[in-house]
Amino acid sequence: MHEQSSRSHAVVCVLLRDGRGTERGRLQFCDLAGSEKAQDAQGLSAKVRHEGAEINKSLLALKECLRAANGETTERVPWRNSQLTQILRDSFSSGEACMVSAVAPSNCSCAESLNTMHYASRCARVD
């Protein structure tokens, strides 16, 4: 999580260990920041626009990893394209992943909600 901004991804990792300290499992919780539209950032500071661009970059990298893991591309899975995908790599490659999406019921949020559900559906198909 970025210390200076609330507009970033947050990741919490819980290690499960037995009585001898041997790692037996891992839970990773990730709160993804929403994608940022450039048109909505007009008039904001350069720092805020840069943060939005970085959010979009990491979400795109995660989407490309999901596409490759689903066999939608013939390329290797590009885990190294962002810090977020490097952190989440184990969740997709050696464990079970579940994505919970928050959507809004109002008409004015319809486009964003549909985009969120489409993004989450990619996670549901990962083997």
- pLDDT tens per residue across span 12-30: 889 999 999 999 888 888 8
1 has a pLDDT exceeding 50: no
- Give the pLDDT band of residue 3 (cuts 50, 70, 90): low
With contact defined as beta carbons under 8 Å apart, do 8 and 51 qualify? yes
| Cβ neighbours of 56 (radius 10 Å) | 16
- Give the pLDDT band of residue 102 (cuts 50, 70, 90): confident
pLDDT given for residue 17 in this prediction = 95
Angle at the Cα of 7 (from 51 to 82), degrees rounded to 5? 60
pTM for the full predicted model:
0.68
With contact defined as beta carbons under 8 Å apart, do 116 and 101 qualify? yes
36 has a pLDDT exceeding 70: no
From CA 103, how far away is CA 114, in angstroms rounded? Answer: 8
Q: Nearest CA to 59 among 77, 82, 26?
A: 82
From CA 4, how far away is CA 90, in angstroms rounded? Answer: 27
With contact defined as beta carbons under 8 Å apart, do 31 and 9 qualify? yes
- pLDDT tens per residue across span 43-90: 677 777 777 778 888 888 888 887 777 777 767 778 888 888 888 887
